[in-house]
Homo-oligomer: A and B are copies of this chain.
């Protein structure tokens, strides 16, 4: 598995727990640490919450996962491969929709041109009201 490479290059190991955490993130799409832990417990009940937290942090350093703020305060994790969309969080119903990252391309360009600011659009959710709740 290529993942092993990413880890070992930094002197890290691919432990069963770590593998499970990564797999859980990939399957869940986006999930809070708590949700990841729950998922992992399905196949490995003894895993500790702090292990999940540590592994998410580790995997993030290596670049295999990334976190996003969806608003409630807690971070939400993604597999790095999926980071091609941004999140539309509805303040009314709480749903989280996706949109391809290029709807923001123009916006990102504006910020780069006018402020020299290099934007990571997917890091924060976009807050508003979804189509269903607007009605």
The binding surface of chain A is classed by DSSP as: mixed
Cβ of A100 to closest chain B Cβ, rounded Å: 9
Residue A10, interface by CB 8 Å: no
Chain A, 97-135, CB within 8 A of any chain B CB? 97, 99, 103-104, 106-107, 110-111, 114-121, 123-131, 134
Closest B residue, CB atoms, query A126: B119
A70 vs chain B, min Cβ distance (A): 9
The answer, yes or no, to whether A18 is at the interface (CB within 8 Å) is: no
- On whether A71 and B118 interact (CB within 8 A), knowing A106-B106, A106-B110, A107-B107, the answer reads no
State whether A120 touches B106 (Cβ < 8 A): no
